[in-house]
Amino acid sequence: MPRLSCWFIRAALIDLTLGFTFGALLLWHKGIPLHPMLWRLLPIHIEFLLLGWTMQLAFGVAFWILPRFQTERGNVALAWLTFGLFNTGVWLVGIGSLIDATGWLLLLGRISETAAVIAFVRHAWPRVKAPGV
């Protein structure tokens, strides 16, 4: 497994842990009320599990298994850029949903995530090819 895939997948596992923790607190609170503020964890629970866990795992596995050019994986810098931007975006959106009423952190986070996805598409597009090309 290439180094970048290790980073993607470990970050996805961290987000899975956090997302499940927030989700468990929410579900517990739904059954046995703890504190009404806990409902504010719902957006970060969704963000960490939908994007941080499932999407990020897909990035990591795709970088690992998509066809290569001989032994190379194409523009690896773009894939690293994806990793940095995507995780910055997920954390900005998550934290923004908790503490920022103005919406600026959410906006910055979504811009970062969108840039990450564009970088990943640019990286992955040429690797989606027939064998030997």
Partner 1 sequence: MPQITRLFIKSALFYFVAALVVALAIALNPLLALPRVVITLGPVYFHLLMVGWVTQLIMGVAHWMFPKFTRAKPRGYTWLIWTTFFLLNSGLLLRVVAEPLRALQPALGWGWLLALSALLQWLAGLAFVAHSWPRIKER
The answer to whether residue 43 forms part of the interface with partner 1 (CB under 8 A) is no
The answer to whether residue 38 forms part of the interface with partner 1 (CB under 8 A) is no
7 Cβ contact partners less than 8 Å away, ≥ 6 residues apart: 60, 83
Q: Which of 26, 47, 46 is nearest to 37 (CA)?
A: 26
The answer to whether residue 39 forms part of the interface with partner 1 (CB under 8 A) is no
Residue 66 DSSP SS3: coil
Q: How far is the CB of 73 from partner 1 (least distance, A)?
A: 14
103 Cβ contact partners less than 8 Å away, ≥ 6 residues apart: 96
The answer to whether residue 90 forms part of the interface with partner 1 (CB under 8 A) is no
Binding site for partner 1 (CB under 8 A): 1-3, 6, 9-10, 13, 16-17, 20-21, 23-28, 30-32, 49-50, 53-54, 57
